[in-house]
Each structure stands twice: as C-alpha cells, then as structure tokens.
Amino acid sequence: MYYIGADLGTTGLKMILIDETGRITASRTEKYPIAYPFQSWAEQEPTDWFNALVKGIRKLTKGIAPEAVKAIGIDGQMHGLVMLDSQDQVIRPAILWNDTRTTEEVTYLNDEIGKSKLSELTGNIAFAGFTAPKIMWVRKNEPENFEKMKRVMLPKDYLNYMLTGILSSDYSDASGMLLLDVEKKQWSQEMMAICHITEANLPKLYESYQVVGTLKSDMAEKLGLGNHVKVVAGAGDNAAAAIGAGTVGDGRCNISIGTSGTVFVASKDFKEGKNHAVHNFAHADGTYHFLGCMLSAASCNDWWMEKILGTNDYSMEQNAIEDLGHNHLIYLPYLMGERSPHNDPNARGAFLGLSMGTTRQQMTQAVLEGVAFGLRDSLEVIREAGVVVTFATFCGGGAKSKLWQQMVANILGIEVGILDNEEGPALGSAILAAVGDGLYENVEEACQAIVTVKEVVKPDQEIVEKYNRLYQVYKNSYHAVKGLHDQLSSLAKG
C-alpha cells in the first residue's frame, strides 16, 4: 500500500510516496513561478499548481501498480485567495499569503469592526495576509471579478476540487481565512456578511484526516491511478509540518524555517494569546494550536546570499561563523512586512550597528540570528499565555543548517530535536492520507509509529545569557524604527 503526500509551497510542489510502514519510497518536486506585479503584491496561477501536481504524481508513481496507491493528502500555503466562476474557471491569479496589499481593509476590520468583535466572531484579528481582507479588496478594486465569483477557496482546496469535484476545506487551513469561528469550527455568518459572500461560496468543512471523496474518472486517467484513490481534506502547511514532526499532544512545539518562519504549539483546548500577537487555529489532529508566523525567514538568507552577496554557496558563508553570542549587529527580518507579533505590513528589513569594521561574515551571522530572534518573538507571546515550552522539533530548509540549529537552541533557550527525515509538510500530508484510509486509528498513533528524532541540540547556558541581552536590543529596534518605516511606506504610495 502507498500513500501520497503533497506540499503546495510558495515556490514549488513537493510530493512524497510512503508505504504502509511510513518509509519514504520516492519524492519529487515541481517548481512554478511567483509574480510580484507591484510592491507588496504576490500572485500565482492556480493552473501552474495543478499542472505541477499532475506531472509530479505521474513521475512519483512510475512503476507502481495503480491499485497499490490508496490515498492522497495535500497541504498548502495558507490564506491564499482562489476564485472560480460559474464555469469553474479561475477568475484571476491567486493572491498569496505574503501579499500585503490589503492595508486599508485590515485597518477597517480591526478599527471599525473592532478587534474585540473579530475575536468574538473568529478567535483572531485581521492580518494583511488573511483571506477575508483579500475578498474585500477584490470587491472594492476589481468589482467585475467579484461579480463573476461563485466559489472561494484556498490553494490546496483548489487542487482537491480538481481531483474530486468536491469543494472542501479543513479546519486548520480555514482558520487562517478570518471567516471561520475557530473555537466552534463553523463559518461565521457575520464575517461572511462583512465580506458580501454566502456559505454557498465557501467549501464544506472537514477534519484534515477525513476523506472528502475519490478521484474523478478523468483525473484518475490523467494521473495514471485508479478512481478508488481516496482524497483527504488535507491541512494548512504549518499544521501539516507539525504532523510531519510529530507535534501532537498538549504543549508540543514545532519550529519551521522555510520561506516563512513559524512557531507552532499544540493545545488540546482553544486559547487566545495576548493581544492576538499569535494566531489561534485548529490543528490537523482535531485539536487546536498557537501559531506565530514571521513572513520572511529562510527567504531572508536567500535574499542576502543570492541578491546581495551574489553566491549560492550557503555552506561556505556559514562555515566561518563560530563565535555565537558576540556579534553585536542587529538585523530586522521584515522584508515583506511582518505578521507575528507586530501585524505591521509597513515594517521593513534593516541592519543596525554597522561600522567601518563590520565584515561580510558578521552581516551573514546577523541575518541568521535576526530570523531566530523573530521566532523568539512569537515564542515569548505563547509563553505569556502560560504555556511551558522546553523542547521543539525543527523542520524546513533552515533545519538543515547546523549553524541555524545551534542559534535557534541558544536564542530560544530550548532543546531542539532534529528529525530523522526532513520532509515536514509532505510527510504530514501522507500521514493524514494513511489515517484517512484507516491504516491508523488516529493521527497521534500514526505519528508515534512514523516520526522519529535522530538528534537533540542543547542550548549552551553561557551563550543563552549573551543572546538574552542581545534579544532585548532586537525587540527595542523594531519600535525604534517603526515610525521611519511608516514614513517610507507613505512616500512609496505617493
């Protein structure tokens, strides 16, 4: 028996095939472009995702008997707005999670509707990347497209719809739309009214591991699979990554450094963090979680290495960095604005503390440390909610860096578990598919059987104390330059 897990990321679709023991037998990644038409905009063509899925699955399952593949699970980049017309045609490019064009809509929601009201309706407040403000933006700025809109869905839900013909979503991904009453796990009638949509426009809701349907006959033929193949609801990428890291159970933590950076802490009950500086979402295992999300994480390192230094030899640049805790240079990682904990689309990146003696090595180190400090911002908010976190699994592209492993352990002051495999969200989706097929009784049982930690990186208390002092400067730096970033944003808007 085989199960497919697919992770619909920002730059590519990562697919894996696991057998009934959880062993990964094949993997495949298909890339697609991202467009930035204007400052703070980020868009993609949903058809590019679908073409990548078809191409990838055919290659992934080459040589496998069609009847041996039992189920598919797909997770995806959260918050993106996909709109279809009455003929199921994509109306416009999807507006992505890291698109921050909705400043006016977010201000209206948080200030006019009010944060307390939004919290009452959804358990969260408005952020620029969320889906509801994007729907409002389209209605105001592209009324002709809004009039055509019949179906609203998230990125991975578009793929599931193409596969099954059933409009579905799961609670973890829907939590980031600002349309779901997260605690009650139902669409908010008042939020739909605010966005001028109805429940008929929205997907039916499922738990992530529940089966929504099987492959349509034409899709089975296109993929080279049988139409018996089940498709589960799937999850938001962060929830899927947490499943792939075994982060199920009250107080369990997973940290991810991918394009964005996240701190994910599972909770058996619904709780709200202080000032909504982190999100309160449903988890893919049927419970809830805290989620702190920084918009630019590994992408900061990509920007620094490739656009500024003009190199892709990441290892060479990091190998010379050894003296942790002594680099008194601050980097603010806000290249696309910031979500947690600041909810500030005007925030921008900055170096503080440059001098004539500053070296390339020090600036590279500051970029890596700045991302880890940004993760700590979210962890501190979660700790203020009374959650004790002393250990976290670590996944994403950044988890492959030994240096970043050490920095995260010391800057956050926790033990960091390095997973036996680093497939993260794709593995989580494959696990959900296996649970949906009945191979395991529940998600926790599946994680216990499949997910293992191969190494634990422990913090050095002396370095922890040095980073604690530097972190205070980092926190103050955002507030010190916030007014300047607001002024620059006003100038950019003309």
Give domain limits for the chain: 2-238
pLDDT tens digits for range 78-126: 999 999 999 999 999 999 998 989 999 999 999 999 999 999 999 999 9
List phi, psi (to 5°) of 43: -140, 155
How would you classify the pairing of strands 288-294 and 279-282? antiparallel
| Burial class of 86 by CB neighbour count within 10 A (0 to 12, 13 to 18, 19+) | exposed
Is residue 56's pLDDT more than 90? yes
> What pLDDT does residue 23 have?
95
Least confident range from 6-15, 74-83, 350-359, 483-492: namely 483-492
Angle at 98 between CA 486 and CA 237, to 5 degrees: 145
CA distance 429 to 239: 9
Banded pLDDT at 310 (limits 50, 70, 90): very high
Which CATH superfamily is 2-238 part of?
Answer: ATPase, nucleotide binding domain (3.30.420.40)
Ramachandran assignment for 168, one of left (phi > 0), alpha (psi -120 to 50 degrees), beta (any other)? beta
> What pLDDT does residue 207 have?
98
- How many other β-carbons are positioned within 10 Å of the β-carbon of residue 48? 17
- The mean pLDDT value for 265-277 works out to 85
Known catalytic residues are 237
CA distance 167 to 233: 10
> What pLDDT does residue 37 have?
95
CA distance 111 to 66: 54
Is residue 274's pLDDT more than 90? no
> What pLDDT does residue 208 have?
98
Residues 6+ apart with CB under 8 A from 429: 5, 6, 7, 73, 74, 75, 234, 235, 240, 243, 244
> What pLDDT does residue 226 have?
95
Residue type (1 letter), 469: R
Least confident range from 216-220, 222-226, 257-261, 359-363: namely 257-261
* pLDDT-above-70 percentage for the chain: 100
Task: Kindly list the distances between the CA atom of residue 380 and the CA atoms of 275, 340, 468, in Å, as whole numbers in the listed order.
Answer: 13, 11, 12
Question: What are residue 4's DSSP bridge partners?
Answer: 17, 72
Banded pLDDT at 492 (limits 50, 70, 90): confident
Question: What are residue 264's DSSP bridge partners?
Answer: 254, 291
pLDDT tens digits for range 127-163: 989 999 999 999 999 999 999 999 999 999 999 999 9
pLDDT tens digits for range 226-254: 999 999 999 999 899 999 999 998 889 99
> What pLDDT does residue 68 have?
97
> What pLDDT does residue 39 have?
85
> What pLDDT does residue 147 have?
98
* pLDDT-above-90 percentage for the chain: 90
Tell me the pTM: 0.87
Is residue 365's pLDDT more than 80? yes
Task: Kindly list the distances between the CA atom of residue 94 and the CA atoms of 131, 153, 155, 235, 244, in Å, as whole numbers in the listed order.
Answer: 11, 10, 8, 18, 26
Tokens 């494959």 -> residue: 430
Task: Kindly list the distances between the CA atom of residue 104 and the CA atoms of 124, 144, 334, in Å, as whole numbers in the listed order.
Answer: 18, 20, 20
- The mean pLDDT value for 198-209 works out to 98
Is residue 275's pLDDT more than 80? no
- The mean pLDDT value for 20-44 works out to 95
More confident residue, 492 or 176: 176
The H-assigned helical ranges of 295-401 are 298-302, 314-319, 360-384
Task: Kindly list the distances between the CA atom of residue 68 and the CA atoms of 64, 369, 385, 427, in Å, as whole numbers in the listed order.
Answer: 7, 46, 46, 18
pLDDT tens digits for range 371-428: 999 999 999 999 998 888 999 999 888 999 999 999 999 999 999 999 988 788 999 9
pLDDT tens digits for range 433-471: 999 999 999 999 999 999 999 999 999 999 999 999 999
> What pLDDT does residue 61 have?
97
CA distance 352 to 371: 15
Residues 6+ apart with CB under 8 A from 477: 330, 332, 350, 352
- Cβ atoms of 253 and 364 within 8 Å: the answer is no
The closest of 246, 206, 249, 247 to 230, measured between CA atoms, is: 206
Banded pLDDT at 272 (limits 50, 70, 90): confident
Is residue 35's pLDDT more than 80? yes
CA distance 4 to 60: 9
Task: Kindly list the distances between the CA atom of residue 232 and the CA atoms of 173, 329, 394, 446, in Å, as whole numbers in the listed order.
Answer: 13, 47, 26, 15
Cα 471 versus chain centre, distance: 24
Is residue 170's pLDDT more than 90? yes
Q: Between the CA atoms of 484, 486, 492 and 494, what dihedral angle is there, to the nearest 10 degrees? A: -110
